[in-house]
Structure 1
Amino acid sequence: MKKAWVLGATGATGTALVEQLLGNDEYSEVHVFVRRPLPLQHTKLHVHVVDMERAEDWQTGPAADVAFSCLGTTLRAAGSKAAQHRVDVDYQLQFAEMARRSGVGTFVLLSAAGANAKSSLFYMRLKGEAEEGVRALSFERTLFFRPGMIDRGVKARGNERISMAILRALNRIGLLKRQAPIAVETLARQMIRGEATLRDAGEYVLAERAILDL
């Protein structure tokens, strides 16, 4: 049986991922790294309350087979580009570095369609920088998930709801079907499935339709 780490467990995708890992018989332990205690209890669940700014909290962790990182924020929530970079890149990479030091063999990163460290778009550049940082750590296996629009359900923001409504209307008339919104529950399931089925060592990049085709 496998042991997993999760960063970003309180976000929409992270919440769905943790719930599915806890219900998956292939996993015996699920370790989540959060800033405050979770209102969730389960025999498999191990909650580690950490301070993102304390280097000593990010040295080594419990033995695990795979680490999932779903952490992310928005420019509005972060308050500045520097603060968003801290969350979307720096925090994820310190988590990845701890996983590498702790002997975790597989790293699964939730990125975004269009991720490119050289992009002129700030958000895509952030995601690309995070991917490059993880890539440089040379895990035995690395899986980059690059979904398009994510349907966060009840956690969806107002502008997201509007964008999803427009995209779904276009999908109904046969346009942009590869960019159809993906529900967080589906995305989480496919992240777990990808880790289970893509067994060869190396790097996997799954974008939009390829995520659903696993």
Structure 2
Amino acid sequence: MDTALLIGATGLVGDYLLRQLLADEQFRHLKVFTRRPTGYQNPRLEEHIVDFDQPRTWNHLLQGDVLFSSLGTTLAQAGSQEAQYQVDYSYQYQAAQAAAENGVPAYVLVSSSGADADALMFYSRMKGELERDVKRLPFQRIRILQPGILAGPRAESRPAEKIGLWLATAASAMPLLRSYRPIHARTVARAMHHAALDETPGVQTDSLEQVFTRAGKTEQVHGKQM
């Protein structure tokens, strides 16, 4: 593995992933495409500040061995379903399509549990449509991770997510609801990192339990192992 490409590096999962990739010298070159600076300095890091609404101005730079995609926003941050769809689906699909056309062999996407292109719920349908469409791209290897509610420090306050995290953590004590328990963003990032090193050809989609297994380590969330 030589060159890793990353979009979404300033997000919760992406920031952890970037740190892990910088610590792994198997990746000799890291190309990050972001809307704002990451704040990291490293001779192996090549940072591109890009306009995701103008993909033709930078998509030719998506050349390497693996594209990691962890870009995303919330409905509250985006302001509308259309704006959220632009970030979570359009920006990510456009980058994946360009990388595939440029000959990048591997693609690793963090999606969401419950992703289903036929779902009634907007968020699940949006995530499912992205999964469906990237699977049609000519990558040699595709890894899709479907974590549940993400735990970890955030720069902005998200009251609804905090309530959801608390409820999911409480529910995780019940065996039938463990598949909905939270997962730390660091664990998801580690699973993405490990997924890129798996050279088995084809598409693999990891459920929450499989994300934990691929990461190989649990994190503490509210005093519980998650």
TM-score, normalised to structure 2, is 0.89
The offset of 1:99, in angstroms, is 0.7
Whether 2:162 is the aligned partner of 1:158: answer no
Distance in 2, Cα, partners of 1:192 & 1:179:
23
Whether 2:30 is the aligned partner of 1:56: answer no
Q: Which runs of 4+ in 1 moved over 6 A?
A: none
Question: Any gaps of 5 or more consecutive residues in structure 2?
Answer: 215-226
The offset of 1:178, in angstroms, is 2.4
The offset of 1:60, in angstroms, is 1.3
* Alpha-carbon contact 1:21-1:27 (below 8 Å) kept: yes
Q: CA deviation digits over 1:44-80, x for unaligned, max 9? A: 1110111112142243115311000000111111111
The offset of 1:41, in angstroms, is 0.7
Distance in 2, Cα, partners of 1:173 & 1:87:
35
Q: CA deviation digits over 1:65-96, x for unaligned, max 9? A: 10000001111111111111111111001111
The offset of 1:191, in angstroms, is 1.0
* Counterpart residue number, 2:22: 22
* Alpha-carbon contact 2:62-2:98 (below 8 Å) kept: no
Distance in 1, Cα, partners of 2:74 & 2:97:
23
* Counterpart residue number, 1:129: 129
Amino acid across the alignment from 2:201: A
* Counterpart residue number, 2:138: 138
* Alpha-carbon contact 2:112-2:146 (below 8 Å) kept: yes
Distance in 1, Cα, partners of 2:202 & 2:92:
20
- Structure-to-structure mapping, 1:7-86, within 5 angstroms: 7-61=7-61, 63-86=63-86
Distance in 1, Cα, partners of 2:120 & 2:135:
21
The offset of 1:26, in angstroms, is 1.3
Q: Could you say what the CA RMSD is over the residues aligned between the two structures, in angstroms? A: 1.6
Distance in 2, Cα, partners of 1:53 & 1:118:
27
Using the TM superposition, name which of 33-42 and 117-126 deviates more. Answer: 33-42
Distance in 1, Cα, partners of 2:56 & 2:62:
15
Distance in 1, Cα, partners of 2:74 & 2:174:
31
* Counterpart residue number, 1:194: 195
Q: 1:123 to 1:25 in 2, by over 3 A?
A: same
Distance in 2, Cα, partners of 1:165 & 1:74:
18
Paired residues in the alignment total 213
Q: 1:167 to 1:175 in 2, by over 3 A?
A: farther
* Counterpart residue number, 1:168: 169
Question: Any gaps of 5 or more consecutive residues in structure 1?
Answer: none
TM-score, normalised to structure 1, is 0.93
The offset of 1:173, in angstroms, is 5.0
* Alpha-carbon contact 1:89-1:130 (below 8 Å) kept: yes
